[in-house]
Amino acid sequence: MVELEELEGVGPAIAEKLREAGYDSVESIAVTTTGELIDAAEVGMRVAVNVINAAREASHMGYERATEVLERRKRLGHITTGSPALDKIIGGGAETQGITEMYGEFGSGKSQVAHQLCVSVQLPLEQGGLDGKAIYIDTENTFRPERITQMARAVGLDPERALEGIYVARAHTTDHQMLLAEKAAEIAKNDGVRLVVVDSVTSLFRVEYCGRGALAERQQKLGRHIAALHKLAELNDLAVFVTNQVQSRPDVFFGDPTRPVGGHVLGHAMTARVYLRKSKANTRTAHLVDHPGLPPEKATFQIVEAGIRD
Ligand code: GTP
Ligand code: MG
């Protein structure tokens, strides 16, 4: 680990400013933008550019061989959704260092999958977990500890300990939601968190920025939030799982007239994007859309008392 003071051009005063603004590692500076650094740490343009370049140099953020990329990808962790079929279409479960999004209408099972992942992540590696803890940012007041208890019992985890392993926060506004994502970074660093859930990532943005006039501002802020979640995932080697609603498109006459909220701002930032649909009774279908390395396959799963299953 390289300390901030070891970067060229960073004296004790600037290091102090950076730390106060939350940039406590060279890596966190390396992945930021000059604009962000200027705003957050109140430094000038030239200092920001120099510091970021030095941080990138120090954390080896240039080119590398594809073999090294492959090696790194092999080390990514995966958290089981509880359904091997669903895991398979997303490449083995919710992946660390990336964001998995599931979107769909009400009752399609988004929050149920989120609960299941919070239990699964606490399992040992051999059972599809990462031996880690979870953070649940709840914007719709849908987190249910009772459900965690049920799911934990079903996989042989002590329910009490499973609940202990989940940090829950209720977000009330978009600013609050973004602050909680920052706080998640602090907890993640100190307490072995391998999963961060945001359920739902867009609902508060929809409420606060409604109408056409607010759209551009909403998209910009949402983009910043997603970028922060990405950093969180990459810097802490954890999986981010977000849920999202659908909105109907009045201009579509053929095919499915719904699409996820947030449009391209969200879509392009996702590692895996899955569309959930209600089928018969407790059966759901999942459809992988837009994945950089996997075919657009479908899977069906069930929501049962034990949780998510094939
Ligand atoms: P919104 O947040 O409203 O958009 O929906 P969602 O996609 O998050 O839906 P959610 O994950 O909350 O799924 C709710 C569905 O899960 C219910 O309709 C139930 O069918 C099912 N479900 C929830 N708990 C249980 C349970 O204990 N047993 C069974 N069998 N099904 C359950
Ligand atoms: Mg929900």
Ligand 1, residue 276: give the atom nearest the CA: 7
Ligand 1, residue 105: give the atom nearest the CA: 4
> Beta-carbon neighbour count of residue 142 at 10 Å?
17
Q: Give residue 113 CA to ligand 1 midpoint distance, Å.
A: 9
Closest ligand to C-alpha of residue 138 is 2
What fold characterizes domain 4-58? DNA polymerase; domain 1 (1.10.150)
Q: Are 173 and 208 in contact (CB under 8 A)?
A: yes
Q: Is 175 in the pocket of ligand 1 (CB under 6 A)?
A: no
Q: Give residue 268 CA to ligand 1 midpoint distance, Å.
A: 27
Closest ligand to C-alpha of residue 102 is 1
44: helix, strand or coil = coil
Query: For 174, which DSSP code?
Result: H
Q: What is the mean pLDDT of the chain?
A: 92
Q: Are 260 and 254 in contact (CB under 8 A)?
A: no
Measured torsion, CA atoms of residues 79, 82, 85, 91, in degrees rounded to the nearest 10: 0
Rounded Cα–Cα distance for residues 227 and 142 (Å): 25
Q: Is 50 in the pocket of ligand 1 (CB under 6 A)?
A: no
- HSE, CB side, 13 Å, CA atoms: give it for residue 87: 19
Ligand 1, residue 107: give the atom nearest the CA: 9
Across the range 128-136, mean pLDDT stands at 98
Residue ranges per domain, the chain?
4-58, 72-309
Across the range 116-145, mean pLDDT stands at 97
For residue 293, the model assigns a pLDDT of: 87
For residue 252, the model assigns a pLDDT of: 65
Q: Is 305 in the pocket of ligand 1 (CB under 6 A)?
A: yes
For residue 104, the model assigns a pLDDT of: 95
Q: Are 282 and 129 in contact (CB under 8 A)?
A: no
103, β-bridge pairs: 244, 275
Nearest residue to 242 (alpha-carbon basis) of 84, 82, 111, 86: 111
In the chain, the percentage of residues whose pLDDT exceeds 90 is: 68
- HSE, CB side, 13 Å, CA atoms: give it for residue 62: 5
The answer regarding whether domain 72-309 maps to CATH 3.20.20.140 reads no
- For atom 9 of ligand 1, the residue with the nearest CA is 107
Produce one character per residue of 256-272: b if its CB has 16 or more CB atoms within 10 Å, e if not: eebebbbeebbbebbbb
- For atom 27 of ligand 1, the residue with the nearest CA is 305
Ligand 1 pocket, mutate which of 147, 197, 204, 303 (most atoms under 8 A from CB): 303
- Lowest-confidence range among 19-23, 64-68, 252-256, 282-286? 252-256
Q: Is pLDDT at 53 greater than 80 in this prediction? A: yes
Q: Give residue 129 CA to ligand 2 midpoint distance, Å.
A: 22
- Lowest-confidence range among 1-15, 231-245, 293-307? 1-15
Closest ligand to C-alpha of residue 276 is 1
